[in-house]
Each structure stands twice: as structure tokens, then as C-alpha cells.
Amino acid sequence: MGIDPGTNLLGFGVIRVVGRSVSYVDMGVVDMRKEKDHFGKLRMVSEQMDRLLDLYSPDELSVESPFYGKNPQVMLKLGRAQGAAITAALRRGIPVAEYAPRKAKISITGVGAASKEQVCIMIQKILGVSLNPEHLDATDALALALCHYFHQSNPLLSMKSSGGWKQFLESHPERIK
């Protein structure tokens, strides 16, 4: 499951991975724009994450890391929303991975500065589905889920973050012939 945390819209995307096959399950947004109180929004993030995690029972959660912004207050609020989403997963023992928006875009489109629309188009091609999201936060969340899948299934990508080939081979003896 991928989560694009926000304080107005929280995007979620769910994929199913069986072996080396990946397929689309669901996506959507939690709309919190009617809630004016910031702490009320955080409560909603926590409650809705509980609902989503109960509904989809993901094995892993990938979440977008807050990106550098000019407004520290916005960064603080996004970080709190991200923390509420992560805590919901950790309470259930679900492993969490964090990816920068640029890294997710590179994983999906090959371009770190890709637009949300370009990401949506590529996700449709990768998953072989037709998507017409009301909010692109949902496809951003799918991009995070796919980014995590790509990093877990590609030895060259996982090698960079896991400590090299030696550690990769030790962690994946089934891949040695």
C-alpha cells in the first residue's frame, strides 16, 4: 500500500504482488477539507488509516516523505500527517518504507520532475488499467506503492540501499544459481 499523506487530501493506492507479478487493487483519497481544526485532521488521518489498513491488510506500507518547502508551517503539518499514517501501520507491525516524491517519479517515469499527470499515464501503462482519478493524490500513492515494489524486486536498486552485492546475496540466497 502506498500513502501520499496530506492535511487536506490523503491519497492511498493498493497493489497486489504475487511473485514477480504486480496488479492494481484500489486507490482513492480521504478528503479532510471540511475539517478546519488541524488536530481534527490528524485524528481523521489516524482513523482513516486504521480503516484502510483493516480493509486491505497490506504486508508493507510505503509513504511519501515530506519534501523541502518554503513554508515551515506547511512542512510541520505534513510531517504530522505522515507520522499519524506511519504510526497506524507500525501499531499493526506493518513495515514502513519512505520515498521522496522525486524518487517515486523517477521509479515510474524515469524523470524526477515529471508532472502528476505524467505519473498517472505511466501507472496506467505499467498496471495495464484505465484510471480516471478525481484527485491525482491517489495515483501519487500508487506510484509510491510501485516504487517500493520496484526497489524490493530489482537487485540494482535494492543494492544501493542495502549495503552492496554481498549483503544482497546473503539476503537472497534463492537467487544464486
Is 64 a known active-site residue?
yes
From the candidates 37, 54, 64, 170, which is the catalytic residue?
64
| Dihedral sign, Cα of residue 105, residue 64, residue 149, residue 142 | negative
Is 4 a known active-site residue?
yes
Three-state secondary structure call for residue 63: strand
From the candidates 31, 137, 170, 174, which is the catalytic residue?
137
CB-based contact 32:44 (threshold 8 Å): yes
Three-state secondary structure call for residue 2: strand
How many C-beta neighbours within 10 Å does residue 64 have? 26
**For residue 61, which of 4, 129, 123, 130 has the smallest C-alpha distance?**
4
Output the nine-digit C-alpha cell for 76: 510541520
User: What are the residue numbers of the active site?
Assistant: 4, 64, 137
